[in-house]
Amino acid sequence: MNYLWRRFPSLLLTLFLISLVTFVVVQVVPGDPAQIILGTEAPPEALADLRAQLGLDRPLPLQYLSWLTGVLRGDLGVSLRHGRPVATLIAERLPVTLSLAILSLAPAVLLAVPLGILAATHQHSALDYGVLLLAQAGLALPSFWIGILLILLFALSWRWLPSGGYVPWGESPLEALRSLAMPILALGLPVAGVLARLVRASMLEELSRDHIRTARAKGLSETQIIVRHVLRNALIPTATLLGLQLGFLLGGSIVIEQVFALPGVGRLVLFAINNRDLPLIQGLVLFIAALVVTINFLVDMAYTWLDPRISLENKHGS
């Protein structure tokens, strides 16, 4: 609990800085939103009116303050292109992206954990190198390339899965799963790569610990050792990595949603940027970054709670 009290203010400070960075970056964006909305034939008076209406002619610090106070009340602004509150737009699309991100962890875990364990228990063998190589390959391939190959294979050649689009869970869980199958594979493979290596490394570290040697000396079988002693400790960093991968997954969803035509938050980001929808960009970027930071914070907390051996100071890079 002490930890929580100490880290919380820095979380808040980080969030505040994020809002500042977001605002500044977005303001640098050239292009006049009024022009884009009203098109090429609009008269200058209409443009000036719209600009005033949107508050684009006020001094920057004022714009920032009014935006920030709105955010604290839950009002992320109103999208210029959609004419609807940013918060609503995000809420509509969040289920898609969250489903995508969270479910992507499934192939990652299902592939990486067994493979990582195998590699660790057969260190320096062909199997070990094989797993390491596959992990590297998974990391090295651009996820959108994997996605396209998957579409060619599963949608075009074999007709097993739909090539794109999203079916809401409420409508049909089976169809929803089918529409997400390829995206989560494409997104999850790089994560599987990272995870496999981590599982292998933590297992190796655990296996070399004293209490394992003791267990062996006591005559426990290898399997028993692995299951009862090694796995638990080895999987802790794995669990935390999963949480930390969320940032990568949210970023990766931008590209994957594009490839598979999924109406998620990632696509909304691209739309916002391509249309110079400043309020939407601001709200989206802030939301995503804040989400990632908060989740990382929670994961950090869970990590220290799960493994009190970890010193609170030693968390640099990873």
Partner 1 sequence: MVAERRWRHVSPLLVGGGVIVLAMAVVAMLGSFATPHDPTAMDIAARLQPPGAAHLFGTDQYGRDILSRVMGGAGIALSVGVVAVGIGLGGGMIIGAVAGFYGGLLGEALMRLMDALFAFPAILLAIAVVGALGPGHLNAMLAIGVVNVPVFARLTRASVLAVQQEGYVEAARAVGGTDLHILQRHIVPNGLAPLLVQASVSFATAILAEASLSYLGLGTQPPLPSWGKMLEEARLFMDRGPWLAIFPGLAIALTVLGFNFLGDGLRDYLDPRH
Partner 2 sequence: MKARTAFHLALLTLILAGLLAACGPRPEVASLTVEGPTASPTPSPGPTAPTAQRGGSLTVAIAADVDGLDPHKTVAAATFQITRNLYDTLVQVNPQSRIQPDLATSWETSADGLNWTFHLRDDVFFHNGRAMTAADVKYSFERILDPETASPRAKDYNIITVIETPDDHTVVLTLSEPQAAFLSNLAYGWAAIIPREAADTLRDHPVGSGPFEFVEWVPDSHVKLHGFDKYFLPDVPYLDQVTFRVITDPAARLISLKIGEVDVVPEVPAQEIAGLQEALGIQVIQQPFNGIQLLAINNARPPFDDLRVRQALNHAIDKQAVIEGAQWGNGVPIGGHMPPVSDFYVDLTDRYPYDPEKARELLADAGYPDGIETTIALPQPYDFHIRNGEVIADQLAKVGIKATLETIEWGTYLEQVYFGRDYTLTTLGHTGRLDPDPFLNRYVSDRQEDYMNYNNPHYDELAKEGSVSTDPERRHEIYAEMQRILADDAVAVYLLAPLSSVGLRQEVQGWQLYPIDIYDLRTVWKRQ
- Site of interaction with partner 2 (CB under 8 A): 30-33, 35-43, 46, 49-50, 81-84, 89, 92-93, 126, 129-130, 132-134, 137, 141, 148-149, 151-153, 155-157, 159, 162-166, 258-261, 263, 267-268, 271, 274-276
Q: How far is the CB of 116 from partner 2 (least distance, A)?
A: 16
* Residue 16 vs 160, nearer CB to partner 2: 160
Q: Taking CB within 5 to 8 Å according to partner kind, which of partner 1, partner 2, none is near residue 153?
A: partner 2
Instruction: Determine the Cα–Cα distance for residues 103 and 101; give it in Å rounded to an integer.
Output: 6
* Residue 176 vs 268, nearer CB to partner 1: 268
Find the distance separating the first CA and the last CA of the chain, reported in whole Å: 24
Residue 262 DSSP SS3 = coil
Q: How far is the CB of 137 from partner 2 (least distance, A)?
A: 5
* Count of all residues that appear for the chain in the document: 318
Instruction: Determine the Cα–Cα distance for residues 177 and 99; give it in Å rounded to an integer.
Output: 10
CB contact at 8 A, 104 and 249: yes
Handedness of CA 90, 91, 96, 97 (dihedral sign): positive
Contacts within 8 Å (CB) and 24+ apart, 284-289? 284/86, 284/90, 285/22, 285/25, 285/26, 286/18, 286/19, 286/22, 286/71, 286/76, 287/76, 287/90, 288/250, 289/18, 289/22
Tell me the longest C-alpha to C-alpha distance in the chain: 87
Please choose, out of 148-156, 159-167, 168-176, 303-311, the segment that lies near partner 1 by the rule CB under 8 A. Answer: 148-156
* Contact positions with partner 1 (CB under 8 A) in 274-303: 281, 285, 288-290, 292-293, 296
Residue 78 DSSP SS3 = strand
CB contact at 8 A, 105 and 238: no
Q: Look-up: residue for tokens 């004419």?
A: 83
Number of residues that bind partner 1 (CB under 8 A): 46
10 lies in the site for partner 1, by CB under 8 A: yes
Q: Taking CB within 5 to 8 Å according to partner kind, which of partner 2, partner 1, none is near residue 3?
A: none
Q: Taking CB within 5 to 8 Å according to partner kind, which of partner 2, partner 1, none is near residue 110?
A: none
Task: Rule CB under 8 A: choose which of 3, 6, 8, 25 binds partner 1.
Answer: 25
Q: How far is the CB of 207 from partner 1 (least distance, A)?
A: 12
Q: Taking CB within 5 to 8 Å according to partner kind, which of partner 2, partner 1, none is near residue 117?
A: none
Residue 9 CA from chain centroid, whole number = 24
* Residue 139 vs 310, nearer CB to partner 1: 139
Instruction: Determine the Cα–Cα distance for residues 161 and 158; give it in Å rounded to an integer.
Output: 8
* Residue 17 vs 102, nearer CB to partner 1: 17
Please choose, out of 105-113, 220-228, 265-273, 304-312, the segment that lies near partner 1 by the rule CB under 8 A. Answer: 265-273
Residue 123 DSSP SS3 = coil
Question: CA angle, corner 194, sides to 212 and 103, nearest 5?
Answer: 105
* Residue 118 vs 284, nearer CB to partner 1: 284
136 lies in the site for partner 1, by CB under 8 A: yes
Q: How far is the CB of 126 from partner 2 (least distance, A)?
A: 5
Q: Using CB under 8 A, list all residues that contact partner 1.
A: 10, 13-14, 17-18, 20-22, 25-26, 28-30, 136-137, 139-142, 144-145, 148, 152, 156, 204, 247-248, 250-252, 254-255, 258, 269-270, 273, 281, 285, 288-290, 292-293, 296, 316-317
